[in-house]
A and B are shown apart, each in its own frame.
Chain A
Amino acid sequence: MTRVALKGLWLRRGRAVLTALAVVLGVAMVCGTYVLTDTISKAFDSIFTTGAAKTSAVVTGRSVVPGAADRPLPASLLQRVRGVDGVSAAAGSIQASGDGPNTQIRLVGADGKTLGNPNAPKLGFGLDFRQARFNPFTVSRGRFPRGDGEVVVDKGTADKEKLRVGQSLGIAASGPTRRFTLVGVARYGKVDSLGGATIGLFTVGTAQGLLGRGDRFDQIDVAAAPGVTPKALVTRLDAVMPKGAFVRTGKQQAAENSADVKDATQFIQWFLLAFGFIALAVGAFVIYNTLSITVAQRIRELATLRALGASRRQVRRSVLLEGLAIGVLASAIGLVAGYFLAKGLSSVFVALGIDLPKTSEVLKTRTVVVSLLLGIVVTLIASIVPARRATRIAPVAAMQEGATLPRGSRSRAAAVSVTALVVALALLGVGAFAGLAVGTSLALLGIGVIALFVAVGLLADRLVRPIAAFVGRPARRLGGAAGRLAGDNATRNPARTARTAAALMIGLALITVVATLGQGLRSSDRQSLSDAVSARTVVTSENGFDPVPAAVGRAVAAVPGARAYPIRHDQGRAFGKAVTVDGLPPRAGDVLKVDTGGRPAQPGPGQAIVERGYADKHDLEIGSAFTITTSAGKALPLRVSALQERNPIQKIDPLLARVLIDQRGFDRAFPSPPSDQYVLVDGSASRADVSGALRRFTDVKAYTRAAWIDERVAGFNTLLNLFYVLLALSIVVSLFGMVNTLVLSVFERTREIGMLRAVGMSRRQVRRMVRHESIITALIGAALGLPLGLALAGLLSAALADEGLSFSVPVGALIVFAVVAVIAGVLAAIVPARRAAKLDVLRALQYE
């Protein structure tokens, strides 16, 4: 029997491969995700271990606020460290790896624009190149810098920006842009690019000057003398450390850094896996449908096996074996495809402006095992029902012409689908409105959505006829006889059409949910931003989230007719954790509305307006006292004067920091020179006037209020596009399902098509008939999926209504999706239509 099943599969190998493709994509997505995230992890690990390889111990200024500049170490400390017994070498360095003007070094092109992706880190290092052991970089072209005015750039950036050794390059940090000469190109360890970050390498002295460090260092790397363990070295160094300096072993440092990155990659991993699972689920649906059709077409063969003595068990096993073989084949192809997809995924991220570090792809055993198992198990599950149906074929069907599968009880099918619908609605209702914990709600909603898809999929065969009557109208009108026949063909086997369309429905419904919620988010954000900011012009950095130097605000203030309101921004530490702090200028209320529930929105000296959520978390009330420690090491005592109410969209896209204080107090406590998140500008000066004053700053841009709001709202588009690209995968899977069904239907109707050709139907008409059937099926999928997606999005919006998420129908997007469905239908029909048209009339008529 095994041989019969496998040989049967071999005989129908073309169809088997087509069937397998439905699972291949899901498996590829899962495998690709693992490969991608493992590769990212490895790249980061290698980055961190490269940094720590020959370094026994690392001395840094004790970091008050993560992400903010560490307090620099005095030059004298380097001499003191060198004098410690057991130290063979030590070197001081400058490390600019933050996101403020004091902690980043930007490479500026000839056009005055910062090189590289605006969202990627802009790193700069000042290194003692005479001490090679502490230098994690290797030069691949040119040489390391030897003096002032010389810079080396990472290979990734150099390749991308086509930089040549010897050319001139702008460098900007806290001061104005200066011209440097590019003397070399380097790699970090074995890595060409640190996730799209731009890296500039300088001599220590140059970097100190660029960042205003004086003669101080950010970090001192120490190598132990032979026979001294890193731990012992750390103990000895600890004894000579001044207050505020901190020693760790090189390994500890690397481990801490990787732990931070692991969390981020874990998130990416689950996010992408979710889409892999969706694609697998749609694939399972397609396999289930295809196997159901092939079982129905092989009734005589299976009945013959039963007549020849095969037991039900043997028949069931042969169908399951077929599923298993398809699953193994699909998983194996998917695994290979996934390896290459990892590269594709990473380019998708790059295209969307999210750069990830790269090394050679990592394929772990876990990846292979999980991908293969998932693909095989999903396919097997999809074959259970068709296999059970096959066992119901009576042996007597071997002698009957046109025998059909015994129908399952219709009333039972109805009961199951209604039950699934009720369960789905109950789960969705409870998940959305019962006010449970977020995790529980999401789980309930997730299961509810799956149940809903199953229920609609089961009910769909009843909806096929009415929907087909409607969406088939154009075909009937335009397609002539072929169009009419196409409509009839689509409804001839409603269950089959329903299952085929349901696969497409899932992808379209999810995309509709994303589009609808995205639309809601954007309009909420637009509303919220235009309510909050009334300034005529807004000045920000090019990417919108890096702060700009305070000098920008001063330059704007000097423009005639302009009133500048710089919003200071930095991080401090309170309650043991980092917290964002803004320093509001006097009369900020003229251009900025902060919802404080009626209390004064302008903090006075020593006062803080605290975001309500933050206040609740730390038991702060109006009148409570607390202290923020700044990265300059100063303690800032504050008293809560008002609570800042954030509307929900501000929770997603916050305009202001959690703690708002007065600007004078801010400038005294935080490191100088300070930087601003925005400079709001009002008065008679136009945007062009303001822009004119910003020419000497790189990466600073003045927007009109409307343009700034547009720009900020467009930030959601990157996220939406990512969702679209990833959900497109499940649409492609359902496309394979449509091709499958059509090929099988054409095969089944060989004789009929021969007859139609014999009575005068042209090849063209045959093609048109198949194409229209395909389009009708796709439109049924759209007719089910789009309203379903709208309903789900409406439900989610209603559940989040308190959070201010508005519901608006994205009409344009819906039209695009319907057109996409039609295109999907046309694409799916290409091969089956060609096959049908190629049938030889005589042979088709003889076909049994």
Chain B
Amino acid sequence: MAWPGAGCDDAGMSITDTEAAVVAARDLRRVYGEGPTAVHALRGVDLDVQARRMTAVMGPSGSGKSTLMHVLAGLDRADGGSVTLGGVDVGGLDDAGLTGLRREHIGFVFQFFNLLPMLTARENILLPLQIAGREPDPGWFDELIDRVGLADRLGHRPSELSGGQQQRVAVARALAGRPTVLFADEPTGNLDSTTSAEILDLLRSAVDSFGQTIVMVTHDPQAAAIADRVLFLADGEIVSDLQEPDAGTVIRTMDELRAA
């Protein structure tokens, strides 16, 4: 498998190591509204996401973490600065280009699963490939199903699945096209702690076994703890950057930031 940036797994790498960066942001700015009521969601963020690693983005509500993910994934436009993803300048793409980018390079896992209610689990998983007009690789599909443990649930509709099962389907759907980057938006935000742990294991193993690059936005310190790196945002800026954290470190950092 030729994953971008394969082979770079050194924890001591600098934040702006462009050689191994799958997603690179420079001086990102995003302002909502105008005049005195304007909200500066991002105030000049520099960031490189290393390949084959899981990067978590944390921060309190309104810190800009969701905006950051949206801009990185090409869902929202920056007002200043640049984003490259898989070597493509995202800011320069029109709607068709962004659609192509999403098909080729991006997978999403959502807080509320966002499965299509009329499709079975199997159809939901294959949907992105179908939209893009690509043939699924049967070997990869089987391996994926095996990994997410849904072999006996493939014919079921989302309404017949539990929340955890639905999110597993969603993870499989995001991985089916082997995207360059998987963006996960609060993937455990709508799950209880046991199923949360299962989903986190699944995401972790996608990084470890398949070399998947993941960017995850989360509130949950337990979730952030499985990441290789945790970025803390506050008021639109990166205020802290932890490598190989554990839950304790994450919680301590959160407390420190809250106190500051």
Q: Kindly list chain A residues whose C-beta atoms are within 8 Å of the C-beta of B103.
A: 309
Provide the B92-130 mask, 1 if CB < 8 A to any CB of A, else 0.
Answer: 000110010011001010111010111100010001101
Q: Kindly list chain A residues whose C-beta atoms are within 8 Å of the C-beta of B102.
A: 306-309, 395
Q: In the complex the two chains form, what is the Cα distance from A305 to B173 in whole Å?
A: 12
Using known A-B contacts A4-B127, A307-B75, A312-B99, determine if residue A398 contacts B108 with beta carbons closer than 8 Å: yes
B13 within 8 A of A: no
Q: In the complex the two chains form, what is the Cα distance from A395 to B98 in whole Å?
A: 10
State whether B116 touches A309 (Cβ < 8 A).
Answer: no
State whether A10 touches B127 (Cβ < 8 A).
Answer: no
B76 within 8 A of A: yes
State whether A309 touches B118 (Cβ < 8 A).
Answer: no
B185 within 8 A of A: yes
Q: In the complex the two chains form, what is the Cα distance from A717 to B4 in whole Å?
A: 83
Q: In the complex the two chains form, what is the Cα distance from A716 to B71 in whole Å?
A: 70
Closest to A397 in B: B75
How far, in Å, is B62 (CB) from chain A's closest CB?
Answer: 15
Q: In the complex the two chains form, what is the Cα distance from A821 to B6 in whole Å?
A: 71
Q: Kindly list chain B residues whose C-beta atoms are within 8 Å of the C-beta of A4.
A: 116, 118-119, 127
State whether A398 touches B114 (Cβ < 8 A).
Answer: yes
How far, in Å, is B61 (CB) from chain A's closest CB?
Answer: 13
B82 within 8 A of A: no
How far, in Å, is B197 (CB) from chain A's closest CB?
Answer: 23
Q: Kindly list chain A residues whose C-beta atoms are within 8 Å of the C-beta of B116.
A: 4, 8, 301, 304-305
The A contact surface, by secondary structure, is helix
How far, in Å, is B219 (CB) from chain A's closest CB?
Answer: 14
How far, in Å, is A836 (CB) from chain B's closest CB?
Answer: 22
Using known A-B contacts A7-B119, A301-B116, A398-B114, determine if residue A312 contacts B131 with beta carbons closer than 8 Å: no
Contact of B75 among A7, A396, A848 (CB under 8 A): A396
B66 within 8 A of A: yes
Contact of B118 among A10, A396, A399 (CB under 8 A): A10
Provide the B185-197 mask, 1 if CB < 8 A to any CB of A, else 0.
Answer: 1000000000000
Interface size on A, residues (CB 8 A): 25
| CB-CB contacts below 8 Å: B207-226 with A | none
B70, B123, B127, most chain A CB atoms within 10 A: B127
State whether B96 touches A308 (Cβ < 8 A).
Answer: no
State whether A308 touches B75 (Cβ < 8 A).
Answer: no
Q: Kindly list chain A residues whose C-beta atoms are within 8 Å of the C-beta of B75.
A: 307, 394-396, 399
State whether B99 touches A304 (Cβ < 8 A).
Answer: no
State whether B96 touches A311 (Cβ < 8 A).
Answer: yes
State whether A308 touches B117 (Cβ < 8 A).
Answer: no
Q: When A and B form their complex, what is the total count of cross-chain residue pairs whose Cβ atoms lie within 8 Å?
A: 71
Q: Kindly list chain B residues whose C-beta atoms are within 8 Å of the C-beta of A311.
A: 95-96, 99
Q: In the complex the two chains form, what is the Cα distance from A3 to B129 in whole Å?
A: 13
Provide the B160-193 mask, 1 if CB < 8 A to any CB of A, else 0.
Answer: 0000000000000100010000000100000000
Q: In the complex the two chains form, what is the Cα distance from A305 to B116 in whole Å?
A: 9
How far, in Å, is B133 (CB) from chain A's closest CB?
Answer: 10
Q: In the complex the two chains form, what is the Cα distance from A307 to B130 in whole Å?
A: 14
Closest to A300 in B: B114
How far, in Å, is A317 (CB) from chain B's closest CB?
Answer: 11
Q: Kindly list chain B residues whose C-beta atoms are within 8 Å of the C-beta of A304.
A: 110, 114, 116
A811 within 8 A of B: no
Q: In the complex the two chains form, what is the Cα distance from A715 to B243 in whole Å?
A: 94
Q: Kindly list chain B residues whose C-beta atoms are within 8 Å of the C-beta of A305.
A: 116, 131
Q: In the complex the two chains form, what is the Cα distance from A1 to B119 in whole Å?
A: 11
State whether A8 touches B99 (Cβ < 8 A).
Answer: no
Q: In the complex the two chains form, what is the Cα distance from A308 to B73 in whole Å?
A: 12
State whether A8 touches B112 (Cβ < 8 A).
Answer: no
Q: Kindly list chain A residues whose C-beta atoms are within 8 Å of the C-beta of B117.
A: 11, 301
How far, in Å, is A201 (CB) from chain B's closest CB?
Answer: 67
B39 within 8 A of A: no
Q: Kindly list chain A residues whose C-beta atoms are within 8 Å of the C-beta of B99.
A: 306, 309-312
State whether A1 touches B123 (Cβ < 8 A).
Answer: no
State whether B66 touches A309 (Cβ < 8 A).
Answer: no
Contact of A308 among B66, B108, B112 (CB under 8 A): B108
Provide the A1-20 mask, 1 if CB < 8 A to any CB of B, else 0.
Answer: 10110011011000000000
Further contacts, 13 of them, CB under 8 A, given A396-B76, A398-B108, A398-B114: A1-B131, A4-B116, A4-B119, A7-B119, A300-B114, A307-B114, A309-B103, A310-B99, A311-B96, A312-B96, A312-B99, A398-B110, A399-B110
Shortest beta-carbon contacts, A-B, top 10: A309-B103, A7-B118, A396-B75, A11-B118, A304-B114, A311-B99, A308-B128, A309-B102, A8-B118, A310-B131
